[in-house]
Chain A
């Protein structure tokens, strides 16, 4: 479960980086690339949040609210 979460975060970071490259390029093409990348990043983020809430509710992952042994 944790690996899936981290994998989605990595894709989110990539789309954010792709949006930056689009902004840097500028013009019609860059503007288009930027918008599409940002749209992908917010879509994935909402999906990840929903997944986390579901995983928490189902007990697949436990929140860090109390003391947890590190080893």
Chain B
């Protein structure tokens, strides 16, 4: 593993995994993963299909809990607290770690209602406040100009790229600390992908971003540091430039050169 960068001195890690293993029944999907993710970085996770990227992401907001037979060993800390301790407020955790999925999933309601869905759950009722949230989140994802005149129309009518930016805006409305993205551009065209990546770079100022991608070039373009997972094992983690130019592990080199995966 590469030595920690100077970021270490600035702040404690936002996320700290220590010997994190994950199982679905008897199948082990993560093998004792240890890594740190720093505040306000874009942390890329790459690896071939089935390497445990999404499982790692989903263990962060405990979405794996929804699957029968899911089990975790080791520690996974968010801002210093092990989120698998009994007594963790999972609803609160999921609000602080907003997640965007591979396929955009707008809920069958209006654009406006999609964005304020989380706010309403949390009990925000004042219409002025909700309107403010919608505008703010749509502006941050540069969707405002495109949809401001049809906030009341169904979110299902938006294009794929717009839907994915809507999903991102919907996350921002939660005012999270961390944004989890699970291959967010895998179904999008290059222009939509570019817009999302541009948005991520801007969001970095205010959020910690974890980006799972099966597109290594995307990690190269936007991630500050990158982790390479292979069959549930963390092969290598470090600054993206360094990993892409001089990978420490042979397997990383092979993967980046497209020899497998």
Answer yes or no: do A and B interact.
no
Please report A residues at the B interface, Cβ cutoff 8 Å: none
